[in-house]
Structure formats: C-alpha cells, structure tokens
Amino acid sequence: MRTAFIETLFGLAQRDQRIVLVVGDMGFGVVTRFMQELPKQFVNAGVAEQNMTSLAAGMALSGKIVFTYSIANFPVLRCFEQIRNDVCYHNADVKIVAVGCGMSYGSLGISHHATEDIAVMRALPNMTIISPGDPVETRLAVRALVGREGPAYLRLGRSGEPIVHLFEPIYQIGKAITVRNGKDITLITTGGLLNCVVKAANVLAEMGVQARVLSMHTIKPLDSEALLQAASDTSALFTIEEHSVIGGLGGAVAEVLMEAKQRPEYFKRIGLKDVFSSIVGDQDYLRAQYGIDVVGILNEIEKSLMLNGAKFGFSLKKK
C-alpha cells in the first residue's frame, strides 16, 4: 500500500505544485524519488512529529495541500494535540498518513501497533478517515483526498498487501465498495484484512452460506445507506477489523444501526479485544493468535451461525 500511495502522490504532485509531502525522517526507501525530483515540495521535519504536524497546518493555511507521513502511531498518537488544535480546529488541508497500521510492525511491539487510532481520530470534528483495503483502493483514495479539502487520516498497511480488486471499482469517499454479493450474511471490513475476508467468504460459499462483503474504506463519514441495506437484506452482520473492537469500525457500524432502529437478527464485532498484545511475532502470526486471520474469522462466524442457525434458516454443514 505504501508504494501505491507514494507513486500516486508523486504523479499528482508533478502536476500540482500545491502538493507537499512532509516526513518524520523516515521512509526513504520509498520517498527518495519524491525528495530528489520535487525538492521544493518535500520537507523532512526530523524525528519531531508534533512539529511536523504544526508545520503542515501552517503550510496548509497558506494554500498548500499537505501530506504528513510516518509509521504506525507516530503521526497520530504522538501528536494528537497538534492534530486536534492546529489541523482540525482550523479545518486545515492536512492529510495525515500512517503506514504500518494494525499490527503490520508486529515484532516491534505495541509501541508500533496502530490498533486504537481509528477510535481517537473518529472523535475529532472535521476529520475524514480512510482505510483502504488494497493497493487499488489506496491509489483511488489518494486521488480523492487531493481533491477533498480539509483534514483527513489515511491509514495504510506496511507492504506486500495483495491486490483484491481485479479492476478499478467506482470509488467515492463515504461510499462502501461491494466486493462480493450475498443474501445470507454481510461481512464488513476495513483496511488490510480485505483479502482475508474475501477468502473467508469464498469458503463460506462452499458451505452454502452466501456472504456479502463490503469494503468500508471510509470510516468517517460512514456509508449508512449500505449498512442499513445490508441489515435489511441479510440476517447477520459481522464487522472485521485489525483494530480494537472499542471505538473502531464495529462501534461505528453499531451506532448507525441502533440509531436507525435497524438492528439485524445477529451482529458481531470481530477484532482485537480490550488488551495490549503481549505476543511477539510478525503480522500474520499475530493475526492468527488474535483470531483475525482467515481461520479465525471463519471460526467466529461458524460459532455464531451454529448458535443461531435455526433462526437464520441455513446451515454451515458442507454440501
């Protein structure tokens, strides 16, 4: 995803001198070309994310479209006050980019796990939150954000995320993408778990359960229309995220459904529980340990549907 981000931003910046990339002294494996070929549109703020954010706000208020870039929690939690007071309060055109969200930097521990970022950023007025599901969505998101004024948060995977979309889908901020149609249940996901969720849906299809898959690439503003339609069309809704179940995608979806009085027969949040990870390992290992890989997702869905199968009228028994 990060390569798709920087390549897309570089192409746009070549045509628009208002676009500026500000980094926190990292990422030179991917930002070097931007730095060398567009030096007047590149700033290395050093290991000082608070300064980076305030600098970006000032540049944005002077007419620039500014992207700040750092890893995991550092451009978010470390400088949350500056995001709140300098960027959001002034509705400045700053796009905060965090690479390595979720547990992408798994072996480096919780200081590098971005698993509460959606929750805190959702609370900020004026903030748009984008969490693409694959490199295709990442490219589309960058283009859309350049054309959208105001603060935004773009959370990306680290590298190697597979392409899910075989062709470029219609992309609009605030509108979910239906990756797979289904009439029985709906799987709603955000971020780099999209590939796992699609694989889980394919397995479910072999068992006779047709799962609709929604890529909820925008978490704020949330696509209420798609959610309410899914709650009406299908018997069970599952939200799946590499983020705490508190305040993340699942919480946002639940708020929409409850306020609209459109509760499905069954609703379940699949994500990280209210704990810090005490396990060391790469992202795939940690996903498996915390039940958000393909097997874990299927186990949770199977357990839920078996307990409620009579109500839904379908079975997970393989045909």
| Domains by residue range for the chain, with CATH | 2-156 (3.40.50.970), 177-312 (3.40.50.920)
CA dihedral 218, 219, 221, 225 (to 10 degrees): 80
Say which DSSP state 191 is in.
Answer: G
The one-letter code for the residue type at 268 is K
Strands (DSSP E) found in the chain? 19-23, 42-44, 65-71, 94-99, 128-130, 152-156, 177-180, 185-189, 211-215, 218-220, 236-244, 266-272
Assess whether pLDDT exceeds 80 at residue 314: no
Reported as a single tens digit per residue, the pLDDT across 123-146 is 999 999 999 999 999 999 999 999
Distance CA 83, CA 68 (A): 11
Contact residues for 42 (Cβ-Cβ < 8 A; gap 6+): 20, 21, 22, 23, 31, 34, 35
- pTM of the full structure: 0.95
Assess whether pLDDT exceeds 80 at residue 169: yes
| Angle between helices 194-206 and 294-312 in degrees, nearest 10 | 50
Reported as a single tens digit per residue, the pLDDT across 215-271 is 999 999 999 999 999 999 999 999 999 999 999 999 999 999 999 998 888 999 999
The predicted model gives 9-20 an average pLDDT of 98
Contact residues for 85 (Cβ-Cβ < 8 A; gap 6+): none
Q: Residues 21, 34: contact at Cβ < 8 Å?
A: yes
